[in-house]
Amino acid sequence: FTVHGQKWPHRNLTWSLRTEQPRGLEPGGVRHQLSRALDLWAKNSKLTFQEVNSDRADILVYFQQGYHGDGYPFDGRGQILAHAFFPGTDRGGDAHFDEEEIWLLTDSSDEEGTSLYAVAAHEFGHSLGLAHSSVRGALMYPWYQGLSTNYELPEDDRHGIQQMYGAPEERLWGNIPGGGTQPERPPAAAPSTTTSSTTTITTTTYRPWRTRPTRPTRPTRPNHYPEERPRRPDRYPVKPDYRTERPDYRPQRPHKPHRHHTTPSTTAAIATTSVATSPTTMGYRPRHRSTPSPRDGIPDKCDTSYDAISIIRREVFIFKGRYLWRIGDQGLYEGYPAEIIRLFNLPEDIDHVDAVYERPDKKIVFFIGNKYFLFNGNILEPGYPRPLTDLGLPRSLEKVDGAMVWGHNGRTYFFSGTMYWRFDESENYVELDYPRDMTMFAGVGYNIDAVFQWKDGKTYFFKGKGFWEFDDLRMKVAHEKQKLSAPVWMGCPRKLETPDLETN
């Protein structure tokens, strides 16, 4: 057996079936089979399982089909039956079953159907921290084998689960080698969806004929831990809000004059020639507007996260809120940050951009919310903005976190939440077989703020006030801990009193 990564920090786990009506299946029967599958592990370890009706349970069970938002699409009826996530935050522990399979609520399988009990027992092994085993006959053997009646957990799996959570008899005698370090979760306020009895219900006492509202449950605290963010895996969390980082930031439109170095005549020249001009004269300079901005409320270049970063005409543009900085060969340009709308003809009411990249044809794409804007130089192309769905991105996508042309293969990538897409520039559409899970870019995590490829050809991912350099060949971050962005990208001094992310 193979133990993979983390184990649960407590032994009394909760689970919940979150698909109300699995296709063609009776929910009570499904819950019964899931309960039996968990019981198999409970009987062989110190673990207990309690069913709750809450999306904050440790193990959430879904029946889903095709692409279902986690980068591991199901393939319809046939080969892939289910998958589950190892213990951890967000989706950790969750089990997904392919709704298009023919599931049988019996122990036996036939040519047509598959035993839900057998597959659930295997998947819950992953939920508890076990990876696949090459031992034929083991429950964690990857290929479906079916289970016999009165099935007992094979030795290989039993040793695996007991290494992590201890053997059940040790619970009686208090001798807890190895698995005895996980505490019971202390009782706490019950979620609103559960009753407030003090009886502990484990799968061993589960009675499927009892309806959920009358079944006594021990109060559980919501199953997210203080250091973790609340679990809502199916949403795309918004980027850190610069308005909360800077309480004095006022997103209202400006009223006071803004000093800059551009004349109307140079601006006019930019608009028509910027694509072809050299980097030094490319002309992306603040343009005059009738209602210039105030200097207050400008993000602090040495203490901020970034919304988007891109190389445009061989210069680095860093976007934050309504502002941008511009970095050339000589470093940060004077007169910046400037309002984005002074350089690019975006709507006056925009208060941020989500992502920006320069296409291979040198046109510039801005992503804002569920729309994208296409610029030729600093002139918005006719017909824009257009919805993200035009690019093949899903209608449910609220925003794009980052976009880049990856130097490693010259392909364009879009990132959002937990997913990423490869984009075919010639077809102007995302490629088949996407989205995929962000874990492909190992070490970067989910919900990035920005990504771009710098002049050194390397890829950099940004999140919060830090960044990672990415090793394109090894497909993982070059350093697991973030480095602070401000000293590297903005030339800010390292403050001794400010703990560096590298050591924090």
Active-site positions read 123
- The residue range among 82-90, 248-256, 262-270, 275-283 that interacts with another protein, by the rule CB under 8 A, is 82-90
Contacts with 490 (C-beta within 8 Å, 6 or more apart), sequence order: 301, 302, 318, 325, 332
Could you give the CA distance from residue 92 to residue 146 in angstroms, rounded to a whole number?
A: 25
Contact 31, 51 (CB under 8 A): yes
| Shortest Å, Cβ 287 to another protein | 39
| Shortest Å, Cβ 418 to another protein | 16
What pairs with residue 310 in β-bridges? 317
CB atoms within 10 A of CB 495: 13
Contact 485, 449 (CB under 8 A): no
In 359-492, which ranges are E strands?
A: 364-368, 371-376, 379-380, 386-387, 402-405, 412-416, 419-424, 429-430, 436-437, 450-453, 459-463, 466-471, 476-477, 483-484
Name the residue nearer to another protein (CB basis): 178 or 257: 178
Distance of CA 131 to the CA centre of its chain: 22
- The residue range among 3-11, 183-191, 287-295, 355-363 that interacts with another protein, by the rule CB under 8 A, is 3-11
| Shortest Å, Cβ 207 to another protein | 29
- The residue assigned the tokens 């950099």 is 460
Residues 378-437, interacting with another protein (CB under 8 A): 406, 408-409, 411, 422, 436
347 belongs to the binding site for another protein (CB under 8 A): no
What pairs with residue 364 in β-bridges? 358, 375
End-to-end distance of the chain based on CA atoms, in angstroms?
35
| Contact residue for another protein among 21, 79, 199, 428 (CB under 8 A) | 79
Distance of CA 177 to the CA centre of its chain: 36
| Shortest Å, Cβ 143 to another protein | 5
Q: Alpha carbon of 190 to those of 198, 204, 244, 262: distances in Å?
A: 10, 21, 31, 62
| Shortest Å, Cβ 4 to another protein | 5
Name the residue nearer to another protein (CB basis): 13 or 82: 82
- The residue range among 11-19, 33-41, 120-128, 249-257 that interacts with another protein, by the rule CB under 8 A, is 120-128
What pairs with residue 315 in β-bridges? 312
| Shortest Å, Cβ 55 to another protein | 22
Among 262, 189, 184, smallest CA distance to 221 is for 189
Q: Alpha carbon of 466 to those of 187, 245, 368, 469, 474: distances in Å?
A: 37, 15, 22, 10, 21
| Contact residue for another protein among 114, 194, 293, 416 (CB under 8 A) | 114
Could you give the CA distance from residue 105 to residue 447 in angstroms, rounded to a whole number?
A: 38
Residues 430-489, interacting with another protein (CB under 8 A): 436, 440, 442, 472-475
| Contact residue for another protein among 134, 197, 263, 504 (CB under 8 A) | 134
83 belongs to the binding site for another protein (CB under 8 A): yes
CB atoms within 10 A of CB 371: 16
Residues 59-78, interacting with another protein (CB under 8 A): 72, 74, 78
| Shortest Å, Cβ 71 to another protein | 11
Say how many residues touch another protein, by CB under 8 A: 43
43 belongs to the binding site for another protein (CB under 8 A): no
Among 170, 178, 88, 69, smallest CA distance to 128 is for 88
Name the residue nearer to another protein (CB basis): 47 or 118: 118
Residues 141-200, interacting with another protein (CB under 8 A): 142-144, 155-156, 159-160, 163
- The residue assigned the tokens 């308005």 is 243
81 belongs to the binding site for another protein (CB under 8 A): yes
Could you give the CA distance from residue 49 to residue 27 in angstroms, rounded to a whole number?
A: 18
| Contact residue for another protein among 11, 31, 46, 126 (CB under 8 A) | 126
3 belongs to the binding site for another protein (CB under 8 A): yes
Would you tell me which residues interact with another protein (CB under 8 A)?
1-5, 72, 74, 78-84, 114, 119, 122-123, 126, 131-132, 134, 136, 142-144, 155-156, 159-160, 163, 406, 408-409, 411, 422, 436, 440, 442, 472-475
